[in-house]
Structure 1
Amino acid sequence: MTAPDRRAVATPPADSLLALVGGTPLIRLARSAPAAEVHAKLEYLNPGGSVKDRAALAMVLDAEESGALRPGGTIVEGTSGNTGLGLAQVAAARGYRSLFVLPDKTAVEKLDALKAYGAEIVLTPSALPREDPDHVIAYATRLAKETDGGWLADQYGNPANPDVHRRTTGPEIWEATGGRITHLVATIGTGGTITGTGQYLHEVSGGRVQVVGADPVTSAYGGGDGSPFAIEAAGHYIHPETATDVFPDVYRRDVIDRFLTIADRESILTARALARTEGLLVGGSSGTAAAAALRVAAEAGPDAVVVAILPDSGRAYLSKYHSDTWVRRQGFLDDDREGTLAGLVSDVVTVPVGTSVGEARSALESSGQPALPVVLAGRSSRFSPAAGEVLGLLSIADLAGPADAAVPVPSTPPVGIGSGETAAEALERLGPDAEVVHLVRDGRLAGVLTVGALRAQVG
């Protein structure tokens, strides 16, 4: 195969970087699905690195036209990163200040990129109920009101978000496939991409195109319990203390013909495989979409033309999904080497925050565990016991207080070890005072071990 000559298709200079938003290519996943026609729409080739460039530009232009955003104003948004990057790019190119509220677990690459654009960043705890004033959306809404010239982009409720996909993303896919597309596969974050693109493809095909929502297993969109998942920029998490949960206003459930739920492990390993087999360095949500698209193609047969929207680049996740260290410490990769801790995975008894000392003491004594994990999960939570974030590990000595008192929660979260690590690797990073640790597999609590048991594994 010879390299194509691109000289004949050179484009004239653009007046602005923003003129390059959209028009992303389709690439056939020939090695991943040699017997099927599966295409990936590479949204990470937008200049800001993600599909959110489209919504960001559309929302700003709409706000300028309506007068909601005036010269010298400040763009404010609550975001997990990609929409913020798109808005920061637009702000820099059009002369606005930008201010973003992000969860404290956002990938460091995204934070550094926002700072490079000149954006101001406010971090807020990721594990907050929707009603908390420091929740990402509530915090951003408050800052927009308090900031002179502030304008809240509101990607979750701004109709310009799905509309831009109806006007651009959908038509691009239809034209690129010559109208042959049979299935669209996309993840759901705000819901804007799948809603707008799906609406267009339904209409132009007379309902022939099936729209498939690819969703993390625990995400509430696809019917999960809303407990935490590891994939950024996709899915719907429900904090256990949230009183009333709502889906984004821009999301239209009726556009989606079916859901396919993808486990975090499959999403992450698919993203990693795309880099190695297709040369596509993509993020975790792209792995979710690609994994679902490969399933759809296998079910649909040889005449299917499946298009998966890959939202963002793996360059934003080099410290996470594409880091061998991270995936092993989170237990997403534990079967590729001898001697990992995967064999120590077990069921765990936990208690939620607010449990009484008496209840906790009884639970620990009957469990046979060396310590009792206190997890972020309300008493009425739908989460499984292992789904909540581990806030602390309590010994019998920690539970010596009055029986009716609430269990103490350590100020510093415990260090967890992953099922993909060896005992020697885990011990190397544990402090000298560590006595008990919790084991994580697929990002979830999967055991409680003494440091002595780890040393015994080393022999």
Structure 2
Amino acid sequence: MSLSDHPRAYGTAALTAAFVAGIFVTLGFKDLYPELEGRYQRKRSINRGALGAAGAGGGGATKKSRRGSFFFGPVELEDHESSSTSIVDGIEGCIGNTPLIKIRSLSEATGCTILAKAEFLNGAGNSPKDRVALNMIEVAEEQGLLTPGQGDTIYEGTVGSTGISIAALARAKGYRAHICMPNDQSAEKSNLLHHLGATVERVPVAPITSPNHFVNLARTRAREHTAASAAGKSVSKGFFANQFESSANYEAHIKTTGPEIFSQTGGRIDAFVAGAGTGGTIAGVAKFLKEDRHLMDLRVVLADPQGSGLYNKVKHGVMYSPTEREGTRRRQQVDSIVEGIGINRITENFEAGRGLVDDAVRVTDEQACRMARWLAEHDGIFVGSSSSVNCVAAVVTALSLPEGSRVVTLLCDSGTRHLSKFWKQIADMGLEEEEENDDIVQKQPPQDLLAALGLAELRR
């Protein structure tokens, strides 16, 4: 009689077969379990911050082949720990792959997840300009405009960060750097440039139409160098980096920043918020996310300091600010204490992505100062003025979106570059004052973020 005629016997046979198969499976993986457990325990002990920094060198996962069982054959294991011990080639290997940080206090205040790309952790000049400087230099090398080791000089007009990145990379790649910058920028920046071996010209503030404007002066210095070479007075070349107009600027963010943000968020991002000086960051990231990854529902928002004309250009299509009137500016570039972003002209870089910018948020100096102090007090994040503007605009943007939305912005550079101006202003506003209460020193920033920023009317 067949087993099908005896259900109980059939069930017993099936159970026995399953038990035997289970033994084979166990034997097949018996050597694998201890290693997997060991990997798990070792991975838990790794400092994630150190891993992220080491991973900036681009070390990817590797595979290790391991002896398999008689049943399953060789087993391939992916080793994601190798990046923690990878070696990068030079300081340029430390550029990129910066962490994406959830800013807890801002997320809690808005009901959205606010994420910030920690660009101050780039390894050369400690700002997003590392990406730009490296790409501009590499493109120039490909075009024969720069040749390492023959005394070529990179000239640039900058308010600071790009010059610092160029100075660091120039030394690393065998060039000299000559930086022209307005004399109203923080002393920390020019001091750092000097220590990096750059020649620094701090020049009086002048309009862009003047040959003495810091950008125009850098262009002139490069031409003079090149002319001397043509006359046989020098074998070296002068190269004007031209960050405001060079397409290598925004292309650096198409190649690196945009893809990193997409990967780190899994493509789940509702808004991207960034300021614009040259305009390369906002244009490059917007082009990658909207054009290359087709995130057409993504809102790209410009964070603009007071006095800049870009806010009006985005909102109303006209480049105008009341502070552009003759004699009303505290600074020539924009009427703001904020450095690095804000401008009263349209650069080629900004124009490349202007059609992809959906909205703009204007941020006052007071809001920027209060945000910087808030981040230091509540999140332990010590940043400069442009980062503070980005975070204020990220909060405003988040409050205009449904709860639970994801907003990404940038933390551009450390507050250590802004001690003599921006952070001095914060201190002068009394935001760092302390008072004694029951023998306990208590900090006194407002505990309501929206009230502190004057945004209480936007409360949900």
TM over 0.5: yes
Matching residue of 1:426: none
Matching residue of 1:278: 379
**In structure 1, C-alpha distance between the alignment counterparts of 2:430 and 2:218, rounded to whole Å:** 36
Is residue 77 from structure 1 mapped to residue 118 from structure 2 by the alignment?
A: no
Q: Give me the identity figure in percent.
A: 36
Matching residue of 1:248: 347
**In structure 1, C-alpha distance between the alignment counterparts of 2:378 and 2:113, rounded to whole Å:** 16
For residue 17 of structure 1, report the CA deviation from its aligned partner: 0.7
Is residue 5 from structure 1 mapped to residue 84 from structure 2 by the alignment?
A: no
**1 or 2, which has the higher helix percentage?**
2
For residue 153 of structure 1, report the CA deviation from its aligned partner: 0.2
Matched residue of 1:247: which SS?
coil
Conservation of the 8 A alpha-carbon contact between 2:269 and 2:407:
yes
Matching residue of 1:450: none
Matched residue of 2:350: which SS?
coil
**In structure 2, C-alpha distance between the alignment counterparts of 1:289 and 1:132, rounded to whole Å:** 30
Match 1:257 to one of 345, 352, 358: 358
Is residue 321 from structure 1 mapped to residue 409 from structure 2 by the alignment?
A: no
For residue 280 of structure 1, report the CA deviation from its aligned partner: 1.2
Matched residue of 2:348: which SS?
coil
Match for 1:10: what amino acid? S
Match for 2:373: what amino acid? R
For residue 303 of structure 1, report the CA deviation from its aligned partner: 3.0
Matched residue of 1:294: which SS?
helix
Matching residue of 2:127: 50
User: Any residues of structure 2 matched to 1:379-394 within 5 Å, and which?
Assistant: none
Give unpaired runs (5+ residues) of structure 1.
238-245, 339-459
Match 1:130 to one of 197, 208, 232: 208
For residue 116 of structure 1, report the CA deviation from its aligned partner: 1.2
RMSD across aligned C-alpha pairs, in angstroms? 2.1
Match for 1:36: what amino acid? C
User: Any residues of structure 2 matched to 1:336-415 within 5 Å, and which?
Assistant: none
Matching residue of 2:176: 97
Matching residue of 2:114: 38
Deviations 1:320-341 (A, max 9, x none): 2223xx4355xx5589799xxx
Deviations 1:392-439 (A, max 9, x none): xxxxxxxxxxxxxxxxxxxxxxxxxxxxxxxxxxxxxxxxxxxxxxxx
Closer, same or farther: CA 70–327 of 1 in aligned 2, 3 Å = same
Matched residue of 1:300: which SS?
coil
Conservation of the 8 A alpha-carbon contact between 1:186 and 1:310:
no
For residue 70 of structure 1, report the CA deviation from its aligned partner: 2.3
**In structure 2, C-alpha distance between the alignment counterparts of 1:206 and 1:199, rounded to whole Å:** 10
Matching residue of 1:86: 165
Is residue 19 from structure 1 mapped to residue 88 from structure 2 by the alignment?
A: no
Which structure: larger Rg?
2
Matched residue of 2:360: which SS?
strand
For residue 10 of structure 1, report the CA deviation from its aligned partner: 1.2
Is residue 139 from structure 1 mapped to residue 217 from structure 2 by the alignment?
A: yes
Matching residue of 2:260: 172
Q: TM-score, normalised by structure 2?
A: 0.67
Conservation of the 8 A alpha-carbon contact between 1:191 and 1:251:
yes
For residue 272 of structure 1, report the CA deviation from its aligned partner: 2.1
Closer, same or farther: CA 46–334 of 1 in aligned 2, 3 Å = closer
Closer, same or farther: CA 249–334 of 1 in aligned 2, 3 Å = same
Conservation of the 8 A alpha-carbon contact between 2:373 and 2:426:
no
Is residue 116 from structure 1 mapped to residue 204 from structure 2 by the alignment?
A: no
**In structure 2, C-alpha distance between the alignment counterparts of 1:205 and 1:254, rounded to whole Å:** 15
Deviations 1:323-362 (A, max 9, x none): 3xx4355xx5589799xxxxxxxxxxxxxxxxxxxxxxxx
Match for 2:177: what amino acid? S
Matched residue of 1:10: which SS?
helix
Match 2:302 to one of 213, 222, 232: 213
For residue 51 of structure 1, report the CA deviation from its aligned partner: 0.6
**In structure 2, C-alpha distance between the alignment counterparts of 1:257 and 1:81, rounded to whole Å:** 28
Q: TM-score, normalised by structure 1?
A: 0.67
Report the count of equivalent residues: 324
Closer, same or farther: CA 178–73 of 1 in aligned 2, 3 Å = same
Give unpaired runs (5+ residues) of structure 2.
1-43, 52-80, 230-236, 313-320, 330-334, 436-460
Match for 1:327: what amino acid? I
User: Any residues of structure 2 matched to 1:415-454 within 5 Å, and which?
Assistant: none
Matched residue of 1:39: which SS?
strand
Closer, same or farther: CA 24–328 of 1 in aligned 2, 3 Å = closer
Conservation of the 8 A alpha-carbon contact between 1:56 and 1:86:
yes
Conservation of the 8 A alpha-carbon contact between 1:32 and 1:277:
no
For residue 255 of structure 1, report the CA deviation from its aligned partner: 2.0
Match for 2:347: what amino acid? P
Is residue 60 from structure 1 mapped to residue 60 from structure 2 by the alignment?
A: no
**In structure 2, C-alpha distance between the alignment counterparts of 1:172 and 1:131, rounded to whole Å:** 37
Is residue 299 from structure 1 mapped to residue 400 from structure 2 by the alignment?
A: yes
**In structure 2, C-alpha distance between the alignment counterparts of 1:337 and 1:222, rounded to whole Å:** 36
Conservation of the 8 A alpha-carbon contact between 2:426 and 2:432:
no
For residue 282 of structure 1, report the CA deviation from its aligned partner: 0.8
Matched residue of 1:307: which SS?
strand
Match for 1:310: what amino acid? L
Matched residue of 2:361: which SS?
strand
Matching residue of 2:271: 183
**In structure 1, C-alpha distance between the alignment counterparts of 2:286 and 2:412, rounded to whole Å:** 15
Matched residue of 1:232: which SS?
coil
Match for 1:287: what amino acid? S
Q: Which runs of 4+ in 1 moved over 4 A?
A: 332-338
**In structure 1, C-alpha distance between the alignment counterparts of 2:147 and 2:434, rounded to whole Å:** 57
